[in-house]
Structure 1
Amino acid sequence: MKKLFFAAVCMIAITTTKAQKSDLKFQGGINVGIPAHNLGGTSLGLGLDLLAHYSLSPQAAITGDVGYTALFGKNGATTTNLIPIRAGLRFYPSDNFFVAGKIGAGFISNSGSSVTTTAYSFGIGYKIDTKLELGASYDGYSKDGTVGLINLRLGYFFN
């Protein structure tokens, strides 16, 4: 948990030092996750995240995110907790459509045990307007095997 707190503080510190630039935006998101790979004991995931988006040009941006997703267990099984901290790139082939990829650290906990993994994500999205966007992605967590889920996400830019 100390690693998560330290990484989140570092990410916020790095992004807020450049907050005076209009190219930096922050977004909050909610997601619904559907288990896709090696998550047979779970049924559905619900999560929240915070994303920093720094525009390099109208066609490209650097992103950083931190989030939390709870994957609810089937038949009384315990909840699995996923916490990713990732950096990535977004490419905008058109004004409203984007493709994205992210990589970083992921923390998985269940029943008191915890493991640190490589967390990655790739997906697509659509900007509904200047504040709202919809996205779909595959989120994976790898360490001596992989677990993954399909995420559907609604994001809202604060600025």
Structure 2
Amino acid sequence: MKKLLLSVAAVLAFGLVSAQDSDGGFKVGIHVGIPMGDAGDLYSANYGADIAYMFPVADSFLLGATTGYSFYSGKEYDLGGVTVKQNGAFIPVAAAAQYSLDTNWFIGADLGYAVYSGDGDGNGGMYYQPKVGFQTETMQFYAGYKGISVEGGSVSSVGVGAAYKF
């Protein structure tokens, strides 16, 4: 595990040093979504914040790392006169990739692990988020599907997001 962390740190450090293209760099954004599937039964909304660092590895192709905070607002349930509401939250730690189809349109994906940080006991799981979007020199807007494979099911949502590029 220590070797893996050192390898990831080395790749990110190399990216910081070699990023010469204005497409690379930091992105800070927000997202909102509607929970789907199993998560739709438990949660009413998904929202949060994201940060990423991307560096160019080829023409129109960026790689990097991303993290953030994704909150799932719990629905209220009446269990024999007792109202129950459990919120969920995850902190993703993932690799990110983005391919620019032209100057403004891109496709991308995040893949990694999401650490559970919500109410009560919960498990993290594999995190994935394919997305498609529109970008300018300083902003990105995207639509995507976020999935987290957890024990006994999945937590997923369809949403939109925006990010400011530094």
* Shorter-normalised TM range: 0.7 to 0.9
| Alpha-carbon shift at residue 19 of structure 1 (Å) | 2.5
Post-superposition Cα deviations, 1:55-111, rounded to whole Å, max 9, x if no partner, equal 123321113110101111122512110211111321111111011122111123443
Q: In the aligned structure 2, how far is the partner of 1:14 from the partner of 1:67? A: 20
Query: What residue number does 1:95 align with?
Result: 103
Q: Answer yes or no: is the 8 Å Cα contact 1:107–1:114 preserved in 2.
A: no
Q: Are 1:108 and 2:106 an aligned pair?
A: no
Q: Answer yes or no: is the 8 Å Cα contact 1:11–1:64 preserved in 2.
A: no
Q: Specify the structure having the higher radius of gyration (Cα).
A: 2
Query: What residue number does 2:16 align with?
Result: 19
Q: CA RMSD in A?
A: 2.3
Matches within 5 A, 1:32-43: 32-39=32-39, 40-43=41-44
Q: In the aligned structure 2, how far is the partner of 1:17 from the partner of 1:132? A: 25
Query: What residue number does 1:3 align with?
Result: none
Secondary structure at 1:19 match in 2: helix
Secondary structure at 1:15 match in 2: helix
Q: In the aligned structure 2, how far is the partner of 1:45 from the partner of 1:136? A: 14
Structure 1 residues without counterparts, runs of 5 or longer: 1-6
In proportion to residue count, which structure has more helix?
2
Structure 2 residues without counterparts, runs of 5 or longer: 77-83
Count of aligned pairs between the two proteins: 150
Q: Are 1:135 and 2:142 an aligned pair?
A: yes
Distance 1:149 1:94, change over 3 A: same
Distance 1:54 1:116, change over 3 A: same
Q: Aligned AA for 2:29?
A: G
Point out the more displaced range, 73-82 or 14-23: 14-23
Q: Are 1:85 and 2:73 an aligned pair?
A: no
* Identical columns (%): 23
Q: Answer yes or no: is the 8 Å Cα contact 2:16–2:55 preserved in 1.
A: no
Post-superposition Cα deviations, 1:14-38, rounded to whole Å, max 9, x if no partner, equal 5355424324400001010210121
Distance 1:11 1:30, change over 3 A: farther
Q: In the aligned structure 2, how far is the partner of 1:135 from the partner of 1:98? A: 9
TM-score, structure 2 normalization: 0.80
